[in-house]
Amino acid sequence: MSLLDVCDLSVTFGRRHRPALDGVCFSLDAGCRLGVIGESGSGKTVTALAVMGLLPEYARVSGKVELAGHQITHLSEAGLARLRGDVVTMVFQEPMTALDPTMRVGRQVAEVLRLHAGTESGPARAAVINMLGEVGLEDPERVADAYPHQLSGGQRQRVSLAMALINAPDLVICDEPTTALDVTVQATVLAKLNDVLDASGAACLFISHDLAVVSQVCDQVAVMLDGRIVETGSVAELFARPQHPYTQGLVATARLDQTIPGQRLPVVEDFYRPGVSR
């Protein structure tokens, strides 16, 4: 049985029931990593929030989300709270706003342990400092005592990473964790993410709009477009033989080095025009 099983998941918002997700199906085995790729508004984040059970109350959800044997869509808020942080955790896109400005960073990371493992603050602090070091923060003692505004974006994102990983979850959802970082910091954070995921053996749902980033972390990719998954496959397969025209466009624009000099650079619209192929 797979760790995460999403079947025919549809989510609509608003009075006109405009679908944000439209019959999404995928599954993820324990320890595996799946990249979800797509443009803004394609439903990537909604998928992640649906798996966490964090969709706003006014969202209408149908279909099945099964995580570690629990039906997410049928769980109470208290039942969800037990799963979140313990079985599944999440790393958010914006490191500047994902940490509480009034709380010291170390306490914020320790909060997860306190909530789920019931760890006392003494041993929790040791675990926190250990984890902060593991995600590649220098001087973890000082970082643990700092407020978020005293850290850089890269440091904060590592703290978010530590927060997501400290309680050894089965699944980590990364929602564009490196989008707000510059390219060099992005590379080091991704490398660290790879390391800690390898070390913990956690599964990962990695959401990004950047095919190159996804290929660094994941072996399987799902391409989302307008609330549907239009193509899935291994990263190598996808790069070599993209099937859907939209994927062909994505791959072509990601491989600009293969463009003949002097020629016009490819754009996604060369391969896929919204509303034409549907």
Partner 1 sequence: MKRAQLIAGVVLVGVVVLATVVSLFWMPFDPLRVVPGQRLLPPGPVHWLGTDGFGIDIFSRLLLGARSVLLVGIISVGLAAVVGIPLGMLAGQAGGWIDDVVMRLSDVVYALPALLLAILLASVFGASTVTAMVSIGVATIPAFARVARAGTLQVMAADYVLAARASGTSWWGVAWRHVAPNIAPVLGVQASVGFAMAILAEAALSYLGLATPRPNPTWGNMLRDAQDYIFVAPLQAVWPGLAIAMAVLGFNLLGDGLRDYLDPRLREVP
Site residues for partner 1 per CB under 8 A? 52, 54, 57, 77-78, 81-86, 89-90, 92, 94, 97-103, 111-112, 115-116, 147, 149-150, 160, 163-164
Secondary structure percentages of the chain, helix, strand, coil, to 5: 40, 25, 35
Report the half-sphere exposure of 192 (CA within 13 A, side-chain side): 24
Of residues 83 and 225, the one with the C-beta less far from partner 1: 83
Of residues 137 and 164, the one with the C-beta less far from partner 1: 164
Least Å from the CB of residue 173 to partner 1? 8
Least Å from the CB of residue 205 to partner 1? 13
The answer to whether the CB of 238 falls within 8 A of the CB of 231 is yes
Least Å from the CB of residue 84 to partner 1? 4
The answer to whether the CB of 28 falls within 8 A of the CB of 202 is no
The amino acid sitting at 85 is: G
Least Å from the CB of residue 115 to partner 1? 5
State how beta strands 60-67 and 70-71 pair. antiparallel
Torsion angle, alpha carbons of 106, 111, 112, 117, to 10: 110
Least Å from the CB of residue 231 to partner 1? 28
The answer to whether the CB of 173 falls within 8 A of the CB of 161 is no
Least Å from the CB of residue 57 to partner 1? 8
Of residues 89 and 215, the one with the C-beta less far from partner 1: 89
Partnered with residue 60 across adjacent β-strands are 12
Of residues 34 and 174, the one with the C-beta less far from partner 1: 174
Of residues 34 and 166, the one with the C-beta less far from partner 1: 166
Among residues 97, 92, 136, 131, the alpha carbon closest in space to that of 112 is found at: 131
The amino acid sitting at 132 is: L
Of residues 26 and 92, the one with the C-beta less far from partner 1: 92
